Chain A
Amino acid sequence: MSIAFYPLAVLTLAGGLGAVLLKNTVHCALALSVAFAGLALLFLTLDAQFAGFAQILVYVGAVAILVVFAILLTKGSETPESGIFSHTWFVGLIIAAGVFAVLGWAVLQSVNALPNESAVPAITVHDIGNALVGRYVLPLEIVALLLTAATIGAVIVALHEKEGAK
């Protein structure tokens, strides 16, 4: 466990940094998918198999693909000559640093209160399924509705105005 954690954390963070810093937009997307994969592996170290694989399936399989599609459709792959960072980038950087400071401070404040050990939960996919159609059936249905709406909405938004009527 703890052996696996640090390389994975490094991988994830590296992926995230790459996604944010790289010049080429497509590289950013690929780095993003690396970060996603790293997160999925972190989930595995947390004994959350299902969530991990769902993460890979959804993010690496779908979201990353969507992103690269969008990049190619918007000719985003070539880097703009006018720099990749907005002209007020430092402000954003400072604010992000502030956010991290607050969050990290919060964690360190409560580090003694946090548990370091915990028994491996005996959770099977079966339990998750039962929970999904049992206690969490309403959220499930709402999410189903949301996804349908989002799909239709995305299609309509991305349609040509001319074909909008069709």
Chain B
Amino acid sequence: MFVASPISVASAMSAANLDQIFVILKNWLVAFLPPFWQPIAGVILCVVAIVGLYPALFAIAVLMERKGLGRMQNRYGPNRVGPFGLFQPVADGIKALIKEDVVPFNADHVVHFLAPLVLVVVVFMSLAVLPMGRNMVLVDMDSGLLFFFAMGASVELSIFMAGWSSRNKYSLLGAMRAIAQMVSYELVLLLSSVVVVMISGSLSLVKIVDAQATYSGIFPHWYVFTPWGLASFVIFVIASTAETNRSPFDLPEGESEIVAGYFTEYSGFKFALFFLGEYVEMFSVAGLGTTLFLGGWSAPLSFLGVIPSWLWFFLKVELWICFFIWLRGTLPRLRQDQLMTFAWKFVLPFTLLNLFVTALWRFMGEGWARWVVCSVILAAAYVVFGRLGLARRHVGPRSYRYAE
């Protein structure tokens, strides 16, 4: 477990110590306390560290996004506050804090107030099981993955609370869209991770990373480098994009359709919380994907192990974020029915098939045969589902359906 305080990287140490520096630091700090308090203190330290670190990352990410998008849209992006607009996030934060907190008159105040809190809390909790480096995980739960998804499931509830309590049709629509979309893609997300569990035989994320952190030659045993792994990695990326309501799946907050979705009626700090929550969720999902498929904190090539593991982890996460940004800058928004059709008619069947393929892989044993077989099956399935599931139906007026 670790504490993130860059100042304390004092003297140059050997790679191993550099790798474990935060653990060492924590133990050093904790050692000042009487033994009874030590475990609690350790936990508190780590929580503080996480809670401190991720907002910082959030700030960086926001800046990155705004500037990156600006470049993609052939403009500068924020460039006034500080050198190259580097202090823009700070300015934003201050603005959000001092802004008036407007609550609609006939909103459901309690729920309206609770929603962002629930979101942030839940999202932060889901970080607790991510191993962010060698020996650097808050709690190594035996059923960590399950915990992660339990938390992820709770996000939907907070979104519903937000959307419903605002007493605003845009918010409600946004919330409904969000929930529908998240429920659909949560399923896909879960199933595509189950594949990894099937192979590694554990729900503990630490064990999953350890299973990948070995090398044959200089090449790592990341799960993404197997047919089924690649397939479920792609699915995971898609699903995580949808899960975090990122473009092209950003219907819940599609500005052009429903003002800002479920947090239309939020302003000031609560809005900031939502913003933060979304980004932290992005981080956590990206972290999960990294952990499951990209070998977590393990180095991409064996000799690169000298670089500290936590650095690798955050590097990968940042890469993932950049990919999200790139997507947002590139792809147009989907339509609701397209979204659903895609989820239920293409991704889900493919994921289910992927489960079988993985089982096949697991039981075919070593050898080149399983590579061929699994790849062929998946490729064929991709073509078939693509043809069948997404076959264009005749275009006509869409029918909206309510209970009455």
Contacts and interface: CB of A to CB of B under 8 A. Distances in A.
Interface of A: 24, 26-27, 30, 33, 37, 40, 49-50, 53-54, 56-57, 60-62, 64-65, 68-69, 72-75, 77, 124-126, 158, 160, 163
Interface residues of B, number: 31
B142 A56 contact: no
B175 to A, nearest CB: 9
B37 to A, nearest CB: 16
Contact of A68 (B160, B201, B401): B160
Nearest to B156: A65
Given A26-B164, A61-B154, 4 more contacts: A24-B108, A27-B108, A40-B150, A160-B401
Interface in B116-161: 141-143, 146-147, 149-154, 156-157, 160-161
Given A30-B111, A73-B403, A57 B153 contact: yes
B143 A57 contact: no
B183 interface: yes
22 contacts: A27-B111, A30-B111, A30-B157, A40-B150, A50-B143, A50-B146, A53-B143, A56-B153, A56-B154, A57-B153, A61-B149, A61-B154, A61-B156, A62-B183, A65-B160, A65-B183, A72-B164, A125-B143, A125-B146, A125-B204, A126-B201, A126-B202
Given A62-B153, A65-B157, A68-B160, A57 B403 contact: no
B190 to A, nearest CB: 9
Contacts of A125: 142-143, 146, 202-204
Contacts of A65: 156-157, 160, 179, 183
Interface string B340-376: 0000000000000000000000000000000000000
Contacts of A75: 404
A144 to B, nearest CB: 13
B150 A56 contact: yes
Interface of B: 108, 111, 141-143, 146-147, 149-154, 156-157, 160-161, 164, 172, 176, 179, 183, 186, 201-204, 401-404
A158 B202 CA distance: 38
B356 to A, nearest CB: 15
Contacts of A40: 150
Given A65-B179, A73-B402, A57 B149 contact: yes
A18 to B, nearest CB: 11
Contacts of B202: 125-126
